[in-house]
Structure 1
Amino acid sequence: MSLPISAIWPGAPFPRGATWDGEGVNFAIFSENATRVELCLFNPTGRREIQRIELRERTDLIWHCYLPEARPGMLYGYRIHGPYDPANGHRFNPNKLLIEPYAKDLFGQLRWSDAHFGYKIGHRREDLSFDRRDNAADMPKCRVIDPAFTWGEDKSPNIPWSDMVVYELHVRGLTKNHPDIPPPLRGTYAGLATAPVINHLKRLGITSVELMPVHAFLDDRHLLERGLSNHWGYNTIGFFAPDHRYSSSGVVSEFKTMVKTLHSNGIEVILDVVYNHTAEGNHLGPTLSFRGVDNAYYYRLVGDDPRYCMDYTGCGNTLNLQQPRALQLIMDSLRYWVLEMHVDGFRFDLASALARELHEVNRLGAFFDILLQDPILSQVKLIAEPWDLGEGGYQVGNFPAGWGEWNDRYRDNMRSYWKGDGGLIGDFAQRLTGSSDFYDHSGRKPYASVNFVTAHDGFTLHDVVSYHDKHNEANGEDNRDGTDNNNTWNCGAEGPTEDANINALRAQQKRNLLATLFFSQGVPMLVAGDEMGRTQHGNNNAYCQDNEISWVNWNLSTDDQEFLAFVQRVIALRREHPVFHRRNFFQGRAIHGSGTKDIHWFKPDGSEMNDEEWAHDFARCLGVFLGGESMQEQDRRGQPIRDDNFLLLFNSHHENIPFSLPVLCEGGVWQSVLDTHLAGGLEPDGQFQDGDTYPLAGRSLALLIQRSSS
């Protein structure tokens, strides 16, 4: 392809973006308030602008042209003219090269300078001033792609919600330190698709990986100035382009190969997506894309003072989904990742912000309506982080049917219970059985609750039992960042210790938390590295730490290997026994006329709990019978699902408690399966009759099985 381009045709307003059709490239970009749009073409290095083409065709507010001589690999950007009137929300500045909102690939990294701002930094009128410097030399360039890829027989594993085990991971953080991955592939999409990683996931029992943001994002200027970076990536600038930091080859097809490889091993790919805000920040932020394309259209602005952005996200701006083309952008992005990239679902960061119609969160808003009726998106996994930072933003339990939700109440209740807080057994029981108090009233199922005891945001599992306070000094904010509400207990010492008793207790507490997670109804989510004792040394906000603090350590100690084996075993028990991942809530009543309920709750003396006893502040020990023989569920072929019966015994008191096994039937025999008090949680050696006493140690969980008679 030679530049400059000589043939310029009118083209079409659809599809939006730069689209290679095998003969040429169609360019189409939406801007309601622009007065002139210029397409800028660059040389292969992206350093020199070769040609500007004015888009003279405008259809339904979409500016477009077709270049028959253009080919994949072409680098481009836009300059858009219009009013610079911040007081009325308009911030057009044609001196700023813009990333196209529909760009499917970006070339080069942003090099920060004052020239990226539409106003003069330090001017007495701040953003009301106008900056005439050209920023193109330091901007990433959009790149035309050829979407062709040989998918072959690839298809989604389509794991039922009730069978899912989610593994939240960071592409770079998981693979950067893996000794068995070739060095050029570490930290990349290709590295995630290598045998050592996939074998680990399969041995662990993972069905679905949830990738922290892979949409093209930017490093915050203030972080780079402190020698840090935006490691987590919740700073999106391109909703269609996979970020090149995670690419070993520099081509989009590497991401597709990763997805195809995971699918062939039966593993789903879910993306953590950030559609609630962009990397352009508040009214004092740079002009990089949406702000220069049409600020007044794409962002929610303060009604009586549109100079300023509405900020429901804590990141300076909020995308305006009241505008149909902005909403279409998000839907087009989601469909692109499903149809072109073959991903299996999405976890929506600060999803409540997407549901705000005027101000209040509206569960019947346009965003939900469009997803529900869309023939593609309604069939994939949709998971909400069901809150934002605005008024009324906390919406756990209020998302529509078909959605899963991160259940932070599960995290908080389970952490509090296992560190010994009182008055929690009622909440503990609700969370263990799928949080029916949140989801049953709207006809949703237990798997609407995505359960977790840790997530990327906060302490790792090892740090939950090793630190009382956050230690974020490495972030450069004097330890002011990150939450102070952690519900953690250090077991008697802050951080690393040589005290063998404390270390043994910490290992036991980790077993307690993860065994509880995987024996709970709902969808369990495990954070990468928690199964191997990963620590961030007390940092509970490692968003800016692209280094050993965040990277998974694959050099395992004997204790780490022992804990990994425990986690593998617990997940296997969950997978093998449907009573731990039911599709329906427990009914608490007799099934099949047997007189045996599908669930019973017991006190340590073997008698059933009554209503008043759930409120006792001193109670920290209880048992639950899970009736596998009376599940009253069917598989997809209509065949009844039966399982063994189980007893789960929980004791968050520090002292040992003899637990009398309940008498539920004549001659019942219980085999001990797991006890977190034992080293590594190894299988205890013992059989017990109904009415026998089980020696339940302090701060421990025990699992007993009664084999099905069917």
Structure 2
Amino acid sequence: MDWEIKRGQPWPYGLFVWQNHLNLAFELPEKKKTGRGNPENSHPDERKLEIRIYDLLKKTSVTMPINAGWRLGRSYGVCLELQPTEADGAGRASIENYGYQVLCNGETIPMLYGKAKRRMAGKDVYLFKEKAFDWDGDVSPKLDFDDIILYKLHVRGFTKHASSGVERRGTFEGLAEKISYLKELGVNALELMPVYDFKTVNPEDGQKDERKNYWGYGPADFMAVKPEYAADPEHAGESLKRLIRALHREGMEVYLELLFTKKEDTEFKLACLRHWVLDYHVDGFHLNAEMTPIKEILSDALLADTKIMSENFDGSCDKNVCGKRRAIYHNAFQDGMRQFLRGDEGSAGRFMAQILNRSTEQGYIQYLVNNNGFTMMDLVTYDGRHNEANGEHNLDGPSWNFSWNCGAEGVSRKKEVLRLRRQQLKNAWILNVFQQGTPLIYAGDEFGNSQKGNNNAWCQDNEISWLNWNLLKKNDWLYNFAAEMIQLRRKVKILHPEKPYVQTDVSANGLPDVSFHGKVPWFVGEDGWDRCIGCMYAGDGEAWYFAYNMNSIRETFSLPSLPKRGLWKVYLDTAEVNAKDMEVKDGKILLERHSIVLLWGEY
């Protein structure tokens, strides 16, 4: 097999293939700085540039020089033609069987626009072309944020633990084996932490320890799938496509957490997002507003149907005029709900505001926990962080967690501590599911996964971060409760109606669509200082009452009367004291400390 090389077009960047010809346009990397912080003085033409072409079948390579005269500014254009010889078999004549590296003075240059990679002898090799993938009529479920139950996970950590029970642990294939599990839980959208080829060790950090980047934030080849996340690393792109196709068939959407750095320009970031949408059928992205040109993304025609999630941003430039496709990643929800869960003074007012927090123009992604903090189990098990394993003397990670260990730090065998933790976990699920935004579940919280108090496990590619699936059997009561709450949210429409609450009798049934109460009906103490809140939802002859006692003592709630002498019945009690379907005939109900009771009635 012979290759002919000549001058190509230095723009647009990336690789363009037609038949056995291809054009590679790339940018020369910035000059390295010397020890004094000054750039190297070498002229671009003095650098030795080469392209090394790999035969992926024979595992051989050939290196050819890149002429300095093919440079325009800092950009190069190289044109290559594959010329089969008589000795070559028919299969090797395909561009798909070859990859490449570009070297500058013997060192490999990252190809920012490289869309597929392999590891060969520990080196990154970019592919000229991937095999065509049969999407078999794949279409996006096109879910509304109001209907989504979002589940965030780390592809490797989700099934890497031996207890996961999957055949190909820590891979896209392993995740695919868990699709039925996710559907049974009630999940219909996944947010994947970085699956692009991020650097496990950042050479710019100057780290000399052995810690590795497990989460995936930082420098990366943002267009290429991480080979190690596939059962067959040589076909990682195809592996991810199969996963997305399988999820779409089950009515589940897929979003990528894609956090650019300051180095990439706007043009590249737009090209990157388009690539994931066009080539991988990704349904949306979680982006960092500080590092991403949100305005340009929302006004991009190709991305008009793509869901965009980020921190607070101006959505006035959104080109999508048909339905909500952007959402605020609601970080403030986490702290406010944690404070109310803990029973902090003054937190009830913020809690009530969250119940009404909804928009017809954009969604809100709400969560009590995420990867950058405690798991839900650790939230009720630890008062402080325990990050000693990170090697920074427990000084890293959030210091304010608004957590409560329920009376003992860490693992405990005390019955009262365990009872309170069980209660608080149920309380947390109710707080997260029954608000007006899109609930985000952090993987493993549905069965009490723990990181042993580590709230910054960015470098823990081990059992600290990997989900322990043995806990699913041990804490099946929690999984069943979580699944029931998700099902209840979907089933009872007045708990999450199509339009925002207006606190008036919109259905002419005698009660407002939502109303707030204290320990007595229709009256809430100043800012809910007593930590007792009642929330009633009503419409079409049905009403639900959520009684929240976040106080440290038992409290008696008087319930509002239902029209037509309707009776309240207990649906559940997180303290497991008031029995299911118990009728409240005297209009009063006693709540244990730190407990929530759900009641319903017809009239």
TM-score category by the smaller chain? 0.7 to 0.9
Summarize the Cα distance change of 1:501–1:101 in structure 2 as closer, same or farther, 3 Å threshold. same
Question: What are the ranges of 5 or more consecutive residues in structure 1 without an aligned counterpart?
Answer: 81-93, 110-136, 278-317, 321-325, 355-366, 387-395, 630-642
Instruction: Determine helix, strand or coil for the equivalent of 2:107.
Output: coil
Instruction: Determine helix, strand or coil for the equivalent of 1:484.
Output: coil
Pairwise CA distance, 1:704: 1.4
What is the aligned partner in structure 2 of residue 603 from structure 1? Answer: 518
Q: Aligned letter for 2:369?
A: T
Corresponding residue pairs, total: 565
* Residue 266 (1) aligns with residue 266 (2): no
What is the aligned partner in structure 2 of residue 65 from structure 1? Answer: 78
Summarize the Cα distance change of 1:599–1:14 in structure 2 as closer, same or farther, 3 Å threshold. same
* Residue 353 (1) aligns with residue 323 (2): no
* 1:425-455 residue CA offsets vs partner (Å, 9 max, x unmatched): 1101112333x5xxx5xx635xx22110000
The answer on whether the counterparts of 2:200 and 2:213 sit within 8 Å (CA) in structure 1 is yes
Where do residues 403-422 of structure 1 align in structure 2 (5 Å cutoff)? 403-422=326-345
Q: Distance in 2 between matches of 1:475 and 1:560?
A: 28
Q: Distance in 1 between matches of 2:213 and 2:50?
A: 30
Q: Distance in 1 between matches of 2:557 and 2:467?
A: 39
2:263 to 314, 319, 326: 319
What is the aligned partner in structure 2 of residue 706 from structure 1? Answer: 601
Q: Distance in 2 between matches of 1:27 and 1:65?
A: 5
Summarize the Cα distance change of 1:60–1:161 in structure 2 as closer, same or farther, 3 Å threshold. farther
What is the aligned partner in structure 1 of residue 411 from structure 2? Answer: 496
Summarize the Cα distance change of 1:100–1:216 in structure 2 as closer, same or farther, 3 Å threshold. same
Structure 1, 666-675 or 231-240: larger mean CA deviation: 666-675
Q: Distance in 1 between matches of 2:444 and 2:248?
A: 22
Summarize the Cα distance change of 1:233–1:264 in structure 2 as closer, same or farther, 3 Å threshold. same
What is the aligned partner in structure 2 of residue 545 from structure 1? Answer: 460
Pairwise CA distance, 1:60: 9.1
Q: Aligned letter for 2:216?
A: G
* Residue 51 (1) aligns with residue 48 (2): no
2:561 to 642, 659, 663: 663
Pairwise CA distance, 1:593: 4.6
Pairwise CA distance, 1:352: 2.3
Instruction: Determine helix, strand or coil for the equivalent of 1:586.
Output: coil
Structure 1, 249-258 or 65-74: larger mean CA deviation: 65-74
What is the aligned partner in structure 1 of residue 305 from structure 2? Answer: 379
* 1:138-167 residue CA offsets vs partner (Å, 9 max, x unmatched): 752322232510001111111111000100
Summarize the Cα distance change of 1:607–1:369 in structure 2 as closer, same or farther, 3 Å threshold. closer
Pairwise CA distance, 1:507: 1.1
1:208 to 161, 175, 189: 189
2:402 to 487, 490, 502: 487
Instruction: Determine helix, strand or coil for the equivalent of 1:431.
Output: helix
* Residue 620 (1) aligns with residue 531 (2): yes
The answer on whether the counterparts of 1:55 and 1:64 sit within 8 Å (CA) in structure 2 is no
Structure 1, 546-555 or 695-704: larger mean CA deviation: 695-704
The answer on whether the counterparts of 1:72 and 1:145 sit within 8 Å (CA) in structure 2 is yes
The answer on whether the counterparts of 1:522 and 1:581 sit within 8 Å (CA) in structure 2 is no
Q: Distance in 1 between matches of 2:414 and 2:507?
A: 53
1:533 to 445, 448, 451: 448
Q: Distance in 1 between matches of 2:486 and 2:507?
A: 30
Question: What are the ranges of 5 or more consecutive residues in structure 2 without an aligned counterpart?
Answer: 31-42, 83-93, 319-324
Q: Distance in 2 between matches of 1:408 and 1:687?
A: 39
What is the aligned partner in structure 2 of residue 230 from structure 1? Answer: 213
2:476 to 558, 561, 570: 561
Q: Distance in 1 between matches of 2:279 and 2:68?
A: 28
The answer on whether the counterparts of 2:66 and 2:78 sit within 8 Å (CA) in structure 1 is no
1:459 to 366, 369, 374: 374
Q: Aligned letter for 1:556?
A: L
What is the aligned partner in structure 2 of residue 685 from structure 1? Answer: 581
Q: Distance in 1 between matches of 2:407 and 2:430?
A: 22
The answer on whether the counterparts of 1:103 and 1:142 sit within 8 Å (CA) in structure 2 is yes
Instruction: Determine helix, strand or coil for the equivalent of 1:260.
Output: helix
Backbone CA RMSD of aligned residues: 2.7
* 1:678-706 residue CA offsets vs partner (Å, 9 max, x unmatched): 18xx97231235x6112222111111122
Decide which structure has greater strand share: 2
Q: Aligned letter for 1:517?
A: N
Q: Aligned letter for 1:51?
A: M
Q: Distance in 2 between matches of 1:555 and 1:99?
A: 41
TM-score when normalising by structure 1 = 0.74
What is the aligned partner in structure 2 of residue 105 from structure 1? Answer: 116
2:347 to 397, 421, 424: 424
Pairwise CA distance, 1:17: 1.7
* Residue 585 (1) aligns with residue 500 (2): yes
The answer on whether the counterparts of 1:79 and 1:97 sit within 8 Å (CA) in structure 2 is yes
Q: Distance in 1 between matches of 2:511 and 2:313?
A: 30
Pairwise CA distance, 1:177: 2.0
Pairwise CA distance, 1:457: 0.7
The answer on whether the counterparts of 1:176 and 1:186 sit within 8 Å (CA) in structure 2 is yes
Q: Distance in 1 between matches of 2:20 and 2:584?
A: 75
Q: Aligned letter for 1:99?
A: P
Q: Aligned letter for 2:195?
A: V
Pairwise CA distance, 1:65: 2.9
* Residue 78 (1) aligns with residue 62 (2): no
Q: Aligned letter for 1:546?
A: D
1:368 to 294, 298, 301: 294
Q: Aligned letter for 2:181?
A: H
Q: Aligned letter for 2:276?
A: W
* 1:277-313 residue CA offsets vs partner (Å, 9 max, x unmatched): 1xxxxxxxxxxxxxxxxxxxxxxxxxxxxxxxxxxxx
Give the percent of matched residue pairs that are identical in Structure 1 and Structure 2. 30
Instruction: Determine helix, strand or coil for the equivalent of 1:483.
Output: coil
The answer on whether the counterparts of 2:516 and 2:534 sit within 8 Å (CA) in structure 1 is yes
What is the aligned partner in structure 1 of residue 139 from structure 2? Answer: 155
* Residue 199 (1) aligns with residue 210 (2): no
What is the aligned partner in structure 2 of residue 28 from structure 1? Answer: 25
* 1:378-437 residue CA offsets vs partner (Å, 9 max, x unmatched): 2111111x2xxxxxxxxx475656521221211101111111111111101112333x5x
What is the aligned partner in structure 2 of residue 121 from structure 1? Answer: none
Summarize the Cα distance change of 1:55–1:155 in structure 2 as closer, same or farther, 3 Å threshold. farther
Summarize the Cα distance change of 1:433–1:100 in structure 2 as closer, same or farther, 3 Å threshold. same
Q: Distance in 1 between matches of 2:117 and 2:600?
A: 55
What is the aligned partner in structure 2 of residue 41 from structure 1? Answer: 52
* Residue 328 (1) aligns with residue 267 (2): yes
* 1:582-615 residue CA offsets vs partner (Å, 9 max, x unmatched): 3432111232455532111111122333xxx343
Summarize the Cα distance change of 1:32–1:51 in structure 2 as closer, same or farther, 3 Å threshold. closer
The answer on whether the counterparts of 2:289 and 2:313 sit within 8 Å (CA) in structure 1 is no
Where do residues 438-457 of structure 1 align in structure 2 (5 Å cutoff)? 444-445=361-362, 448-457=363-372
Q: Aligned letter for 2:244?
A: V
Where do residues 639-650 of structure 1 align in structure 2 (5 Å cutoff)? 644-650=542-548
The answer on whether the counterparts of 1:56 and 1:64 sit within 8 Å (CA) in structure 2 is no
Q: Aligned letter for 1:695?
A: L
The answer on whether the counterparts of 1:669 and 1:706 sit within 8 Å (CA) in structure 2 is yes
Pairwise CA distance, 1:494: 0.6
Instruction: Determine helix, strand or coil for the equivalent of 1:596.
Output: coil
Q: Distance in 2 between matches of 1:645 and 1:191?
A: 43
Summarize the Cα distance change of 1:50–1:61 in structure 2 as closer, same or farther, 3 Å threshold. closer
TM-score when normalising by structure 2 = 0.87
* 1:505-538 residue CA offsets vs partner (Å, 9 max, x unmatched): 1111011011111111100000000101100001
Q: Distance in 2 between matches of 1:664 and 1:608?
A: 16
Q: Distance in 2 between matches of 1:59 and 1:645?
A: 70
Q: Aligned letter for 2:247?
A: L
Pairwise CA distance, 1:248: 1.1
Summarize the Cα distance change of 1:28–1:649 in structure 2 as closer, same or farther, 3 Å threshold. same
